[in-house]
Structure 1
Amino acid sequence: MMKKILLIMLSVILVFTFAACGGGSSDDGGGGEEPAQTFELKLADVYPEDHADTIACRAAVEEIEEKTGGAVKIKVYPANQLGDASQVYEEIRKGTIDMMLGTLPTTFDSRMEMLTIPYLVTNYDQAKATFLGGSYFYDQLSQIQNELGVELINIFTDGFMGVGATKPLEDPMDFTKSHKELIRVPAMDSYIWTAQGMGYNTTTIPYADLYSALQTGVADGWIGGSAYVNYESFGDIIKSFCESNYIMELIPIVMNKDLYDSMPEEYQTIIKEAFATQAVKVADDREA
């Protein structure tokens, strides 16, 4: 009788032992280290392939891919291939496009006109301290972007703006007189008021139509671009440039916020640091 009891107890112990071993084996088989999360992103870029900002973007993208071991790959689409800045920004908010390098349209929030407040800075040291990551200006703009479902990655400082014209400008720095030239401005109050304060007659023309407007004489000149942009994009028709330095041209890099928040913190840091490095380089190159 005692033998039977011992055999029954031994059988029960063996059953539970094998069950426990079987369960552990299953966990080990399915509970190994998960593969690293990967991201393939699209970055819409308003500038052409050979523009300094596009080159800076590509340098940041290479650094990001290298430092994440290929887990974050970003494909750059230059020259408005995915649409102009207004269209792309809306898609960024929806999450149908991942990232953008371009001007931020104020139609979504008028506070974004803070990017075009005239005479905030007078040199590049001030510009880097005032606009790049970690500054009060940057933090305020970042907060506005977050409210719109967008993450601010950094800001490229593309140079002080001036007045470019297809003919010689007469006394362009004399703001006490009315100038005869008709100057194109973006559809933003900060630009319109600045140009009018400088004594110019203004007409609102989209940037995409600016070249043909200057070429056909619809406008005599424009404000909204640095000497670099006037030379690179309009060099064959711009005959006069006044370096009035009224606004520092600021070009943000942004990302869909839900996408950014879904990334590991390590990847977030790598992305922001890569673009921060390029933001400083862009400013230094412009100053040189």
Structure 2
Amino acid sequence: MTMFKTFGATLAAALVAGQAFAADVTIRLAHLNPEDPFQSHSGTMAAVFKSLVESNSNGEIEVQLFPNGQLGKDNEVIEQVRTGLVESTISSAGGIAQHYNLVGVFDIPFAFPNIGVASRVISKDSSFGQKFIADLESKTDLKVLGMIDSGGFFAFTNSKKPIESVADMEGLRIRTMTLPTHEAIVSSLGGQPTPLPWAEVYTALQTGVADGQMNPVPIIAFAKFDEVQKYLSITNHVITPYIWSMNADFYNGLSDEHRTLVNWAAEVATESGRAMSRVIEASDRGLPALAAKMEVNVVPPAEQAKFAEAAQPAVRALIEDQYGAEGIEMLDALLASIEEEKGAF
């Protein structure tokens, strides 16, 4: 009870501090990542959204930003949005999973052949995106404003050795999000999944609670994991969504004019975030910077196929076991959308 009161007091203080210059409408937008728009896609999205909404609303809407997990853990902030305490958040799949578990279908390993296909499928406008979002919205109190990849394909880092084959995963304690599908991936490859919330990851790697972790290159870079990890192995084994949501009642209560503004500003901001992820990956803020400090290896296609052979059946079986026919139907819809978008390249 004491911890709950402390958290509540901290949240209340943060929210009140941000209300010094309240406009007619206030949108509090939270996310886990740095505020600097050049460090993370969610920082980019938040900054662009704030700029567009405030400059085009004639001062009628103020957007208050709460980056770096200021309002709590991902799943806690989503709960705040669902209850209306906070208006909006940009969330990882790990946070969303605790409110809508079918987000786990994205974790079927090696399903996406390249980032072009992933960008087209992981979108609120794709055939799968529309189906997925409609189901998510029907089961939560959320309105989805955007869906974007989490910064690129996941890679493994660790402090022990390069991961060049499935055998190299044996016994490695790999931090995962609190996603059963991610735990299944690591287990199927011979590793020991260590699910931890984001706020605890750096310390866990630093102290040896976990040997390694898996994330996209931009996240590895801004989290400064190169300070506590020696090896970076490019496996491109999975790519997950970040989902931008808003309290549905708040969204529906906006005037038609304000709702239109929020919609197009969120769309532009999402595409800006998508582009920033690619820039970070390629720039001295991403892989080149990490390569200067870490030992980097790329797992070749022949070895990737062996990873896929070990991990895909395990994840599909978990989805069927935990989510039943509904989960398999959603997974098959995702795979069909991937096949459909392959034709564009």
Q: Match for 1:106: what amino acid?
A: A
Residue 143 of structure 2: SS of its match in structure 1?
strand
Residue 97 of structure 2: SS of its match in structure 1?
coil
TM-score after normalising by structure 1: 0.80
1:96 aligns with 2:85: yes
Would the aligned equivalents of 1:227 and 1:241 in 2 still touch at CA under 8 Å?
no
Which residue number in structure 2 is paired with residue 32 of structure 1? none
- Residues 110-156 of structure 1: CA distance to partner in whole angstroms, max 9, x if unpaired? 21223434333232221221011211232233221342110000023
Which residue number in structure 2 is paired with residue 166 of structure 1? 159
Match among 40, 51, 56 for residue 26 of structure 2: 40
Residue 190 of structure 2: SS of its match in structure 1?
coil
Larger Rg: 1
Task: State the distance in 1 between where 2:113 and 2:209 align.
Answer: 32
Task: State the distance in 2 between where 1:116 and 1:99 align.
Answer: 25
Which residue number in structure 2 is paired with residue 189 of structure 1? 180
- Residues 199-242 of structure 1: CA distance to partner in whole angstroms, max 9, x if unpaired? 3222222222111111011111012x111111210231122111
- Return closer, same or farther for 1:109/1:155 CA change in 2, 3 Å cut-off: closer
Say which is worse superposed, 212-221 or 142-151, in terms of deviation: 142-151
Which residue number in structure 2 is paired with residue 71 of structure 1? 60
1:147 aligns with 2:144: no
Give the percent of matched residue pairs that are identical in Structure 1 and Structure 2.
20
Deviation of 1:173 (Å):
4.2
Identify unmatched segments of 5+ residues in structure 1: 1-36
Q: Which has the higher helix share?
A: 2
Task: State the distance in 2 between where 1:127 and 1:269 align.
Answer: 27
Task: State the distance in 1 between where 2:109 and 2:128 align.
Answer: 14
Identify unmatched segments of 5+ residues in structure 2: 1-22, 280-345
Residue 57 of structure 1: SS of its match in structure 2?
helix
Say which is worse superposed, 193-202 or 108-117, in terms of deviation: 108-117
Deviation of 1:97 (Å):
0.8
Alpha-carbon RMSD across the aligned residues, in angstroms, is 2.0
Residue 272 of structure 2: SS of its match in structure 1?
helix
Q: Match for 1:48: what amino acid?
A: P
Q: How many residues matched?
A: 249
- Return closer, same or farther for 1:123/1:278 CA change in 2, 3 Å cut-off: farther
Which residue number in structure 1 is paired with residue 316 of structure 2? none
